Structure 1
Amino acid sequence: MSRIYKAADFFLPADEEPIRSVITESKEAVVIGWYIKPGQEICSHIHPYGQDTWTILSGKGEYYLDAEGTKKAIVAGDVVTAPIGCVHGVFNNSDEPLIFISVVSPADAGYQLISSEESLTNLSNQ
C-alpha cells in the first residue's frame, strides 16, 4: 500500500456537479481531492460525527459558515475546518478552478445535507 500520492491524479473536473475523488481511506480518516469549476458548488452540509478540514491548493471561493448562508472568502493557502456538526460548503465564484484536499476524520463521520428549508424549520422550532 502506497503512502505517497500525487494529488493531481485525483482532481477530476466534471461539467455537472463536482466529483468527490477519494485519495485514500482508513477507519481514522478519508482524504479527498476536489476540483470545483467556476460556478459549481458543494452544497451546505454537516458531518454529525466528525471533522472536515480543507487545504486550499489553488483558486478561491465563498465558504459557507452556517445554515443561514453566511459566507467568507477562501483562497489558495487557506486551511479551513468544520468541527463536528458545523455547517460548511463552498461556491466557486471565480473564473478559475477551486482545487483543495479534504480530510474527514473519522472516516465514518457521516454526511447530512443542509437545505435552506431545513434551516428555516429548525430555527422556527427553537
Structure 2
Amino acid sequence: MTPSATSAPHPLGSRKRHYWLVQRMAAAAAVDLNAAFEAGDLGSDSWAQTIETCRGCDWVEGCEKWLAQEDEGRAAPATCHNRVTFEALKRGQDAKARDGAAVHGRAKRPVQDQGEQA
C-alpha cells in the first residue's frame, strides 16, 4: 500500500484571530453578521462553524493581505472557505433590503390633496 498523496491536516489557528478574520471578511463582502444573527439567518451553531472553518484554512497570510486592500462590497475570494456562507447571507440581506425598499417606497408616495385630482 502506498502512502496517501494528501498532506497532513492543517493545525487550527487561534479562535481570536479567526474570529476577527471572519468579521473583517464579512465586512469586506458587505455582509452584516449582526443583522444576520438577529434575523435568524445565522444561528449560534452556524456562527461557530464559520469561525471553525476559518481556523482550518491555510491561506491566513493571503487572507490578511486581501483584507488589507480595504475595498468593501466585493465577494470573498475563491480561496475563502466561508465564501458560500457569505454569498448566501449577502443574497438574503440584499433581498430583504429590496423588499423593504419596495414596501417603504409604496408607503412614501405623496398623497394627493382632494383638490388635486387628475
TM-score by length of 2: 0.24
Kindly indicate which of the two structures has a greater share of residues assigned to strand. 1
Kindly indicate which of the two structures has a greater share of residues assigned to helix. 2
The structure that has the greater radius of gyration is 2
